[in-house]
Amino acid sequence: MKFPPVTTMLMLLYSFNATANTQRSYHGDVELGAVVTTGNTNTVSAKTAINVEQDFEMWRTEYVVNAQYQRSQFEDDDGLKQRETTEQQIFLSYQGNYKLEEANKSFFLLGSFNDERFNGYNYQITVATGYGWRLLENNNHTIDLEIGPGYSWNEFHNDDQQEGTIFHGAFKYQHQLTVATRFRQEATTDASFSGANSKTKLESSLIADINGRLAMKVSFYVEYNTKPDDDIKSVDTETGITLVYSF
């Protein structure tokens, strides 16, 4: 299987960031827990996620890895118990925001790869670039908005391929409710200009600290595809409870 040169581009971006900035700070979260899924699959599955953010002198970078895996037991026509994989997904993304001279404004580069075995696709790849604003930043609130053009490559399970230009938009909001509790709202859309599939994702989460580094996260996630594969529903939802370790 031959993919577009997204990996090469992201490696070059990372190398440039690492050599062009000597002073930087970083923080990250590691999640592990259970997810109740409705839509194309109705299962309880294991989930892990890693999110790392770095703040360079001229760049802000973010790395995301999400993975889910489920094996379910069922009885076949002969009454024998069988096991099969009913959920398998890995999502990878990298984003770099180059800070402009005007405060709280940036130029972003984004690349993502999604391999979800049961959504009708072999893979979904997206790259985008554009303009970003940090609309609000204080002790309790941050609001980020990004818009720009991009390109997507999709391959279905039947090996049919679909690609075209997209409009990428993202909105992120975080509210520090108390010293130990924070709320996050994230929304992204990749709208196709060529009549191909468009995807919108929404996630609301509440995070409560248990101790200095350990927290509990309750989240609700919705994904909408305008043109899913045959026999695949347009809307998937996930309700999750995970433990979060921050570093």
DSSP codes joined into one string, 97-121: EEEPSSTTEEEEEEEEEEEETTTTE
Task: Give residue-wise pLDDT tens across range 39-71.
Answer: 665 667 788 999 999 988 899 899 999 998 887
pLDDT at 150 over 60: yes
Residue 242 and residue 49 in contact, taking contact as beta carbons nearer than 8 Å: yes
- The pLDDT, as a whole number, for residue 77 is 76
pLDDT at 194 over 80: yes
Residue 218 and residue 194 in contact, taking contact as beta carbons nearer than 8 Å: no
Residue 92 and residue 112 in contact, taking contact as beta carbons nearer than 8 Å: yes
Residue 227 and residue 194 in contact, taking contact as beta carbons nearer than 8 Å: no
- The pLDDT, as a whole number, for residue 156 is 82
CATH 3.40.190.100 at 6-13+26-246, yes or no: no
Q: Which residue has the higher pLDDT, 194 or 174?
A: 174
- The pLDDT, as a whole number, for residue 79 is 74
Q: Which residue has the higher pLDDT, 170 or 120?
A: 170
- The pLDDT, as a whole number, for residue 161 is 86
- The pLDDT, as a whole number, for residue 34 is 75
Instruction: Give the rounded percent of residues in the chain with a pLDDT score beyond 70.
Output: 86
Instruction: Summarize the confidence of residues 84-112 as an average pLDDT.
Output: 91
Q: Which residue has the higher pLDDT, 171 or 77?
A: 171
- The pLDDT, as a whole number, for residue 188 is 97
Domain segments of the chain: what residues? 6-13+26-246
pLDDT at 206 over 90: yes
Nearest CA to 165 out of 202, 137, 129, 115 is that of 129
Q: Which residue has the higher pLDDT, 140 or 156?
A: 140
Task: Give residue-wise pLDDT tens across range 151-185.
Answer: 999 888 888 888 999 999 999 999 999 999 999 99
Mean per-residue pLDDT of the chain:
85
User: 13 — phi, psi (to 5°)?
Assistant: -65, -45
pLDDT at 2 over 80: no
pLDDT at 106 over 90: yes
- The pLDDT, as a whole number, for residue 166 is 97
- The pLDDT, as a whole number, for residue 168 is 97
Interatomic CA distance for residues 61 and 66, integer angstroms = 17
